[in-house]
Amino acid sequence: MKTIPVSIIIPNYNGEEILHRTLTSTIQASHAYPDKTEIIVVDDASKDGSLDLISQFPQIRILRHGVNKGFAEAVHTGVNGSVYDVILLLNSDVMLQQSSILPLVQWFEWKETFCVGPLICNEEGRPARVSWGLSKILRGEIRKCNWDLEDAIGATANGTPLKSLYASGGSMAFRKDMFLALGGFCSIYKPFYYEDCDLGTRGWQRGWKTFFEPRSKVIHGHQGTINRFFAATNIKRIKRRNRFFYLWLHLSPGKLIFSHLPWTLLRFLSRVLTMDIAYVLGLFAALYSTGKIIKLRSKFVQEHGKRSLETIIRQIQC
């Protein structure tokens, strides 16, 4: 199996409490990988003892932001400062298994591979559904599909590529030049959520593929920056707003007009009655940015083509 040098990038903001296990597992996995690696931590203006902790690992290179810029900008700083052509991006609360890098990197022997995602498990070892970006459009909404791990492992063993709409931004390997050609994560999704889904979709629009690799396993502690520093209601509002952004950018005009908009109106009325404030505020926040979405949608069509989200999903399911 051919190997490729890998740059491992870990964005960090006030991660002193959770970072040690991530750094330790990353170093162990990099030592087990039979090619060159570099480990970069991008510190996004932490105010805790993160820098002192990271400095205990001399093999890790630190890139620092003077002011907090957010997840996407931290990733961009790491990518621009990296040496190698394949990037492995990890959240500050993700632990690599020792043998997890090689199964991901093998996919980059294929020129059309853009991104690969590992099997993501929680602390108890249960697989997360987000590991494999299988999705469907139902009643104008995007929904995650269920999948069976044994079936996925069996398909991989038989040489069947497991195509995925996207790979989770918390643990993904991608080709650096393609990431840069796409402009990286789209800033409209700041501060978090759906930037990874959007990135994978724009890759598919250019014919660049994302795969799921269940033979690579990571443990996601889910104690990262979002849950530690943002209120639950605010997280729900931003997630809902960004889901609207994503659908408005990538659904076909017909699907938007005749499916998404009517169902959104019905859902809005229902959520008002049930006092779902996060949904209502998320929708209004999205509507406030309609002008930006229209301009960005036009830009994406010019850069990536007119392939709609539903067309890409059908291609993945083939």
pLDDT score recorded for residue 230: 73
φ/ψ of residue 141, rounded to 5: -120, 155
pLDDT attached to residue 228: 67
Handedness of CA 159, 145, 193, 97 (dihedral sign): negative
CA angle 229, 234, 239 (to 5 degrees): 105
Question: What are the boundaries of each domain within the chain?
Answer: 6-228, 231-305
CA 39 to chain centre: 19
**Alpha carbon 220 to its chain's center:** 13
256 secondary structure, DSSP code:
I
How far apart, in whole angstroms, are the C-alpha atoms of residue 94 and residue 188? 25
Distance of CA 146 to the CA centre of its chain: 18
For 49, the token pair is 């003892």
CB under 8 Å to 124, separation ≥6 — which residues?
none
By three-state DSSP, how is residue 267 classified? helix
Q: DSSP label at 236? A: H
| Longest pairwise C-alpha distance within the chain | 58
CATH value of 6-228 in 3.40.50.300, 3.90.550.10, 2.60.40.10, 3.30.70.1340? 3.90.550.10
Other Cβ atoms closer than 10 A to 91: 24
* pTM attached to this predicted model: 0.95
The residues pairing with 126 across neighbouring beta strands, listed in sequence order, are none
Q: Are 37 and 87 in contact (CB under 8 A)?
A: no
Beta bridge partners of 138: 141
Q: What is the pLDDT of residue 281?
A: 96
The whole-number pLDDT of residue 224 equals: 59
Please give the radius of gyration of the chain, using alpha carbons only, rounded to the nearest integer.
19
Distance CA 24, CA 93 (A): 11
pLDDT at 223: 60
Token pair 């590529």 in the structure block, residue:
161
Q: According to the model, what pLDDT value does residue 229 have?
A: 66
One digit per residue, pLDDT tens: the chain, 318 residues? 678 999 999 999 999 999 999 999 999 999 999 999 999 999 999 999 999 999 999 999 999 999 999 999 999 999 999 999 999 999 999 999 999 999 999 999 999 999 999 999 998 989 999 999 999 999 999 999 999 999 999 999 999 999 999 999 999 999 999 999 999 999 999 988 999 999 999 999 999 999 999 999 999 976 655 666 678 889 999 999 999 999 999 999 999 999 999 999 999 999 999 999 999 999 999 999 999 999 999 999 999 988 999 999 999 987
